[in-house]
């Protein structure tokens, strides 16, 4: 690791004042330190935010939940309110990383973890995300793990988070604090597609600190399921994952449907218009299959990842079927 200067601000204002192009915030450190050891990140200054008062989980006036940015992944997954009212979020978090890492990793850091693309991690090779303009070896290289949706000629990396896939389905909002004050970002607008500027994973400004995540009241409780498919049963990143939520009316028609995909794009993938078009259709396997086909209709595979298209479609059908079964047999 390259040497760096260290500071530990006592207040959010101080932390935001200290931010800058040569600095990085550190929370759990599980992603930043990993990247610093690989020389992918080389900050001159590291700002330790673990002294800030951002560790609270509380119910909001509208019946939602507000989660402080420093709440650990383990604490959040096992929080009583989260287990009872947002089981989709619990399941997604527990499907990620290892128990040790979940004890360390923070809510804010999880949103900002970088891609696990091998070329991004290898400082000796080109990568548009790491060194803008240098090229993308993944396009014609080893791209089994890479994107099938929303990629660009400049970058085919995927966002690796499990938690974020659930947050996309739950329509969370990201509360940030910068030198200009506070703002709230809808989850769908937080992460971005690579386009011509893949070095930017999200819309956060350099001086902005994530202070909390706000969840609206749960749109579905029992009727949800997180399905993660990977190369081994545990402690591996997703090849494809699905966060599915369903509301079924008394006549067995679809009264609400949300599906977010992980492992397939530069951000959790949703199509809200398509979800809406399913309302009123029968809650059956046939409807889920039609939805899956439509959601993947624009998928463009690379040389080694065409299997992800079939995998994603089948995963959607299975996740929705299991979400429905979860409601019928809680």
Residues forming the site for another protein (CB under 8 A)? 1-7, 18-23, 26, 28-30, 33-34, 37, 44-46, 48, 50, 74, 78, 97-101, 103-104, 233-235
291 makes contact with ligand FAD (CB under 6 A): no
Cα distance between residue 241 and residue 223, in whole Å: 17
82 makes contact with ligand FAD (CB under 6 A): no
Residues in the chain, total: 330
Cα distance between residue 24 and residue 35, in whole Å: 12
Measured over the CA atoms of residue 240, residue 260, residue 57 and residue 116, the dihedral's sign is positive
Residue with tokens 């949706």: 149
Choose from another protein, ligand FAD, none: what does 131 bind? Cβ within 5-8 Å by kind.
Answer: none
Minimum distance from residue 101 beta carbon to ligand FAD (Å): 5
Cα distance between residue 133 and residue 28, in whole Å: 31
- Nearer residue to ligand FAD within complex by CB, 76 or 257: 76
108 makes contact with ligand FAD (CB under 6 A): yes
Choose from another protein, ligand FAD, none: what does 325 bind? Cβ within 5-8 Å by kind.
Answer: none
Cα distance between residue 316 and residue 25, in whole Å: 36
Reference 71, options 163, 135, 198; nearest CA is 163
- Nearer residue to ligand FAD within complex by CB, 55 or 281: 55
- Which residues within the stretch 51-70 sit at the binding site for ligand FAD (CB under 6 A)? 69
The pair of structure tokens assigned to 219 is 């749109």
Residues contributing to the site for ligand FAD (CB under 6 A)? 24-32, 34, 49, 69, 96-97, 101, 104-106, 108-110, 112-113, 160-163, 209-210, 237
């Amino acid at each position: 690791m390259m040497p760096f200067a260290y500071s530990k601000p006592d207040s959010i204002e101080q932390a935001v004042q200290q931010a800058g192009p040569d600095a990085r915030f550190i929370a759990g450190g599980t992603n930043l330190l990993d990247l610093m050891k690989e020389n992918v990140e080389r900050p001159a200054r590291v700002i330790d935010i673990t002294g800030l008062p951002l560790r609270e989980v509380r119910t909001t006036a509208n019946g939602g939940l507000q989660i402080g940015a420093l709440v650990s992944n383990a604490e959040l997954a096992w929080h009583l309110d989260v287990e009872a009212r947002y089981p989709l979020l619990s399941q997604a978090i527990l499907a990620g990383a290892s128990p040790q890492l979940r004890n360390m990793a923070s809510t804010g850091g999880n949103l900002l973890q970088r891609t696990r693309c091998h070329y991004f991690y290898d400082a000796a090779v080109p990568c548009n995300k790491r060194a803008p303009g240098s090229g993308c070896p993944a396009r014609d290289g080893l791209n089994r793990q890479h994107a099938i949706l929303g990629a660009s000629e400049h970058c085919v990396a995927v966002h690796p988070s499990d938690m974020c896939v659930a947050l996309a389905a739950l329509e969370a909002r990201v509360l940030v604090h910068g030198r200009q004050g506070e703002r709230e970002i809808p989850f769908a607008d937080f992460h971005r597609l690579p386009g011509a500027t893949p070095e930017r994973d999200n819309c956060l400004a350099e001086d902005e600190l994530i202070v909390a995540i706000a969840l609206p009241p749960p749109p579905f409780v029992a009727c949800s399921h997180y399905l993660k498919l990977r190369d081994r049963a545990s402690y591996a990143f997703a090849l494809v994952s699905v966060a599915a939520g369903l509301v079924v009316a008394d006549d067995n028609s679809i009264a609400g449907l949300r599906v977010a995909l992980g492992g397939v794009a530069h951000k959790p993938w949703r199509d809200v218009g398509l979800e809406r078009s399913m309302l009123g259709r029968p809650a059956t396997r046939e409807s889920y299959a039609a939805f899956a086909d439509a959601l993947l209709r624009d998928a463009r595979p690379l040389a080694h990842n065409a299997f992800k298209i079939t995998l994603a479609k089948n995963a959607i059908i299975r996740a929705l079927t299991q979400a429905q079964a979860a409601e019928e047999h809680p």
